[in-house]
Chains A and B, each alone.
Chain A
């Protein structure tokens, strides 16, 4: 039996975390009221909208639901969304790893400033994010003439959509990794290096296994956001049906054409993606609570 200063073992192992004595909790009616308010608020603001997506999508029957995906335009929109996310997520993954490594493994001047810059896209309106690319690559932009001279279309074409998607999802993976890797410190890496491992081996065999769940979580969030981005993509896409419409843009077009079932059917795919993302996230959090604890802030 050991004695330690820091814990009063009388209370620790036997008292569930939530058991709080009368001195520091509220009257039962207060607890019940607050809980009711919280549940009603969440149900009204989050569950009902989610439910309405699926109910509306299926309102004309399952046949009409699946028929919604038959049109060539819808399929083109799905493909473009997958393409944009397929480029944006890996690009931001490489950046996220690289930035997190530089920021958490080394000390240098201006680190705090760099982290603020990485967060910038969070505080920029998606519409402005789209606008900046038009100002750079558009016909009247600085780089526009050069690109059109070389016959490369950026704005109102797929590259613009990819760029806008990258911008909007830029901080996600880095923001997940930085706090996590900060918490882990550099001891493991230094141990591996002192044992003769190369930089790559250290990253691959020591760092990556430690951060894989946080990394996966970041990738999931980044992906959900990439597939669902609307404002930024809307500005740079030009809305050319079958060519530069992503799924969210296609939803808008269908909705404005009063094609509610197809609009909500496509929306239900994205809602499903959101649900899968949330489920995976919750699963990760329940199983790897400690590892992810550092990364709960967005």
Chain B
């Protein structure tokens, strides 16, 4: 066979893409994703749609469910807000200042990612119970944390902290020194530079971090159930109510709550994505 023929044959069968493995990897990824995530998740909505709107409403409008859902969302919102402030300060201090022990503390910030939620739950409960290290100090002041809604906020603050810090840190690090110097040469006092130049630049990241912490907090279970005390209509969170309904074999009820939580979470996810797209477009490095 002449070389010319070989060349022509090779060209005739030339693959569409230079790098191999497109079909295999994409095919496997989609298959695995469908099997593990999409099909089972679709099951919830399938089940929920079986209830009909009336059925859904019947479950969700019961005072206990409403209370649990609103508690989960409000507590997660407050915790995310606390983290937005303190996590923002932590990110600022870590990016801008030097202090002894910084590297060690920096490693510890990710602890809530790595520490199992159940461990965090019992540890926080031990700390904040009336005879715990912190509870001991707070009890004389009349502040009760363990087995109250405040305890839930504490647990969700613990869980959400790294989301804010790790989202804001890289963006803050990228704020160019030039921008701050430019503001200073234009006569801006330091406070103006921070509030009008730096804060707007990191705001999209802060909001994204807030949304991530909030979404995580809404669904959080392990760290909360130990410290919450789980009194119905008082400190009972939505995920716990799902497990209670399951234990009672009330699959309809569990599904209805789960569907409501999923919808709200997906809504949040959409908002996060839109926010990021908006920030990209506006801060544009096109």
Chains A, B in direct contact (C-beta < 8 Å): yes
Tally inter-chain residue pairs, CB-CB below 8 A: 303
List CB contacts (< 8 Å) of B207-228 with chain A: 215-216, 218-222, 226
- Residue B25 at the A interface, CB < 8 A? yes
Asked if residues B181 and A126 are in contact (CB atoms below 8 Å), the reply is: no
- Residue A38 at the B interface, CB < 8 A? yes
Asked if residues A278 and B114 are in contact (CB atoms below 8 Å), the reply is: yes
Which label, helix, strand, loop or mixed, suits the secondary structure of the B interface? helix
- Residue A65 at the B interface, CB < 8 A? no
- Residue A282 at the B interface, CB < 8 A? yes
Question: How close is B65's CB to chain A, nearest CB, in angstroms?
Answer: 14
Cβ 8 A contact of A136, one of B22, B40, B120, B166: B40
Residue tally, chain A, CB below 8 Å to B: 104
* B-side contacts of A101, CB under 8 Å: 21, 25
* B-side contacts of A264, CB under 8 Å: 122, 126
- Residue A45 at the B interface, CB < 8 A? yes
Cβ 8 A contact of B97, one of A34, A121, A141, A186: A34
Asked if residues B170 and A296 are in contact (CB atoms below 8 Å), the reply is: yes
List CB contacts (< 8 Å) of B59-85 with chain A: none
- The answer for the CA separation of A296 and B174 in the assembled complex, in Å, is 14
Question: How close is B196's CB to chain A, nearest CB, in angstroms?
Answer: 14
Question: How close is A275's CB to chain B, nearest CB, in angstroms?
Answer: 8
Known contacts A45-B158, A120-B41, A124-B41, A251 near B219 by CB under 8 Å: no
Cβ 8 A contact of A120, one of B32, B37, B113, B117: B37
- Residue A150 at the B interface, CB < 8 A? no
List CB contacts (< 8 Å) of A216-260 with chain B: 221, 224-225, 227-231, 234-235, 247-249, 251-252, 255, 260
Cβ 8 A contact of B170, one of A27, A260, A278, A297: A297
Question: How close is A69's CB to chain B, nearest CB, in angstroms?
Answer: 16
| Closest partner residue, chain A, to B114 (CB atom) | A274
- Residue A176 at the B interface, CB < 8 A? no
* B-side contacts of A52, CB under 8 Å: 123, 126-127, 132-133
- The answer for the CA separation of A134 and B251 in the assembled complex, in Å, is 9
Asked if residues A230 and B162 are in contact (CB atoms below 8 Å), the reply is: no
* A-side contacts of B25, CB under 8 Å: 98-99, 101-102
Q: Which of A37, A42, A117, A282 has the most CB of B within 10 A?
A: A42
- Residue A132 at the B interface, CB < 8 A? yes
- The answer for the CA separation of A125 and B214 in the assembled complex, in Å, is 12
Cβ 8 A contact of A105, one of B19, B90, B266: B19
| Closest partner residue, chain A, to B120 (CB atom) | A49
Asked if residues A106 and B22 are in contact (CB atoms below 8 Å), the reply is: yes
Cβ 8 A contact of B26, one of A20, A42, A106, A119: A106
- Residue B232 at the A interface, CB < 8 A? no
Cβ 8 A contact of A235, one of B99, B184, B243, B262: B243
List CB contacts (< 8 Å) of A119-172 with chain B: 119-128, 131-136, 138, 140-142, 163, 166-167, 170
- Residue A50 at the B interface, CB < 8 A? yes
Asked if residues A255 and B114 are in contact (CB atoms below 8 Å), the reply is: no
- The answer for the CA separation of A52 and B120 in the assembled complex, in Å, is 10
Asked if residues B19 and A190 are in contact (CB atoms below 8 Å), the reply is: yes
Interface string of A253-284 (1 = CB under 8 A from B): 00100001001100100110111011101100
Known contacts A127-B239, A264-B122, A270 near B115 by CB under 8 Å: yes
| Closest partner residue, chain A, to B125 (CB atom) | A255
Cβ 8 A contact of B29, one of A24, A114, A134, A277: A114
CB within 8 Å of B: which residues of A? 18, 20, 23-27, 31, 34-35, 37-39, 41-42, 44-50, 52-53, 56, 94-95, 98-99, 101-102, 105-106, 108, 114, 116-128, 131-136, 138, 140-142, 163, 166-167, 170, 186, 189-190, 193, 198-199, 202-203, 221, 224-225, 227-231, 234-235, 247-249, 251-252, 255, 260, 263-264, 267, 270-271, 273-275, 277-279, 281-282, 286, 296-298
What are 27 A-B pairs at a CB distance below 8 A? A34-B97, A37-B93, A38-B94, A41-B90, A42-B105, A45-B158, A46-B111, A49-B120, A50-B111, A56-B126, A98-B25, A105-B22, A114-B30, A114-B33, A119-B269, A125-B218, A126-B222, A131-B258, A138-B251, A224-B113, A228-B114, A228-B115, A229-B116, A252-B226, A263-B122, A267-B116, A271-B115
Q: Which 9 A-B pairs have the closest CB atoms?
A: A228-B116, A125-B219, A230-B222, A231-B221, A199-B20, A127-B239, A274-B114, A49-B123, A132-B40
CB within 8 Å of A: which residues of B? 17-22, 24-26, 28-30, 32-33, 36-41, 43-44, 47, 86, 89-90, 92-94, 96-99, 101, 103, 105-120, 122-124, 126-127, 132-134, 157-158, 161-163, 166-167, 169-170, 177, 180-181, 184, 190, 193, 215-216, 218-222, 226, 238-240, 242-243, 246, 251, 254-255, 258, 261-262, 265-266, 268-269, 273
Q: With A56-B123, A133-B40, A221-B113 given, name 16 new contacts (CB 8 A).
A: A39-B105, A48-B133, A49-B123, A102-B26, A102-B29, A117-B33, A119-B269, A124-B262, A128-B219, A224-B113, A228-B115, A231-B222, A252-B118, A274-B115, A296-B170, A298-B166
